[in-house]
Amino acid sequence: MEIKVIPDEQTPCIPEMGDVSEFIKSNKQLLDSFLSFAESRSDAIGLAANQISIDGERFMHRVFALCNLKDRSWRLIINPVIDEYIGIKELKNEGCLTWVGRRIISERSRAVKVSYYDINGNKTEGEFYKGFISQVWQHELNHLNGIEERIERFGFKLPHQKDFERNKPCPCSSGKKYKQCCLLLI
């Protein structure tokens, strides 16, 4: 079985899936192969299924692999949804296996609440992520949703972003001071 990343090609939108338990049962071998491929990548933290081909066919499933930064273990995230974007959005400069040698420039919220299924068909709802892992979730969901990103050359510098004052109202319009709101999500 040959698995490889499809370079320099926008990822297509993957529709929501129906019966997740049936999907897992029907695709167990392919899911295990996808996870093994992700585990072999030391150059990635996340990998959306539609970024790769298996035996020459794009792997068109609503799944991504996510690396735990503490122990470098990987897990599959099946039928993921971002339920809520939390905090102010900032421009981020990201690497991507699809666009090697270039950078993705995208607005990302500082935190997200997500729902998904694991490889055993167990559903997790309202799980909270902040900082870099929140950014990875948003990046991989954009792949699965077929959202085109702004691609720039490697070394592109982000424009200076406004620094927020700790004691001023938070720019997310929560009515709280910045230090008691979005600053906590860093």
Q: How many residues are present in the chain?
A: 186
Helices (H) and strands (E) in the chain, counts: 3, 9
Active site residue 140: yes
66 sits in which H/E element: strand 63-67
- Joined together, the tokens standing for residue 59 give 């792997």
What is the C-alpha separation between 40 and 63, in angstroms, rounded?
17
Active-site hit among 140, 148, 149, 165: 140
- Joined together, the tokens standing for residue 157 give 């510098």
DSSP bridge pairs for 172: none
**Helix, strand, or coil (residue 100):** coil
Any idea which residues carry the catalytic annotation?
Answer: 140
